[in-house]
Structure 1
Amino acid sequence: LYHDEPILRDGEVVGRTTGGMFSYVEGKALAMAYLNNDDGVTKEWLDSGTFEIEVATVRIPATPSIRSFYDPRNERVKV
């Protein structure tokens, strides 16, 4: 996962990744992305669809999150 991989919602391209990395805190790969929806990107819209990221012609299931990776209040446990 590098950048500019297409993101699909229910089989339709709705965005592209801007970058990716492995998070040892989350224990999985993460990607930052821009998504497009004519009615706006809401939590309800994210929760109601099935998302995939196409990496080298392989579609990988993805779970979108509207919350930021950044922890401005430093509420997460420090390792």
Structure 2
Amino acid sequence: MLEAGLGFAVKTAKGEFIGRDAVLKKKEAGLSRRLVQFRLKDPQPLLFHNEAILRDGKIVGPITSGNYGHHLGGAIGLGYVPCQGESEADVLASSYEIEIAGERFPAEASLKPMYDPKAERTRM
């Protein structure tokens, strides 16, 4: 949950709940990986799942889900990126590529939804 950037949805100070101790332990220890959204800079290739994520030229994990983002005009995917002891800025400052069928494609990375990073579409 913290790795996916959903820590705002859990209020650990509001009393006991199943998993509270695990959340507190994870907060104290720090995150070992982060869920990152990727958008390919080339609009032609498609992402499905299990495509390799390369961070600064090194494979760090797979795309866990992908599809075409019509609003964004290209393929988008989600995947976990190792980040032990790194800030969000460090994670985003890296250079990312996604390998599809042996070919590498440059990708833009984001820790927030690319289609609505300020959550303006959900506000009425």
Report TM bin, short chain: 0.7 to 0.9
Distance apart, 1:2 and its partner CA: 1.8
For 1:50 and 1:69, locate their aligned partners in 2 and report how far apart those are by CA, in whole Å: 17
- In structure 2, the residue matched to 1:7 is 53
Number of matched pairs: 75
RMSD of aligned C-alpha atoms? 2.4
Distance apart, 1:76 and its partner CA: 2.5
Q: Larger % of helix: which?
A: 2
Q: Larger % of strand: which?
A: 1
- In structure 2, the residue matched to 1:47 is 92
**Higher-Rg member (1/2):** 2
Q: Sequence identity, in percent?
A: 36
Counterpart code for 1:75: E
Query: Structure 1, unaligned stretches of length 5 or more?
Result: none
For 1:51 and 1:74, locate their aligned partners in 2 and report how far apart those are by CA, in whole Å: 25
Match of 1:36 among 68, 82, 103: 82
List structure 1 runs of 4+ shifted beyond 6 angstroms.
Answer: none
Structure 2 length as normaliser, TM-score? Answer: 0.51
Question: Any idea what SS the aligned residue of 1:64 has?
Answer: strand
Pairing 1:61–2:116 present: no
Structure 1 length as normaliser, TM-score? Answer: 0.76
Counterpart code for 1:62: A
For 1:76 and 1:29, locate their aligned partners in 2 and report how far apart those are by CA, in whole Å: 21
For 2:101 and 2:84, locate their aligned partners in 1 and report how far apart those are by CA, in whole Å: 28
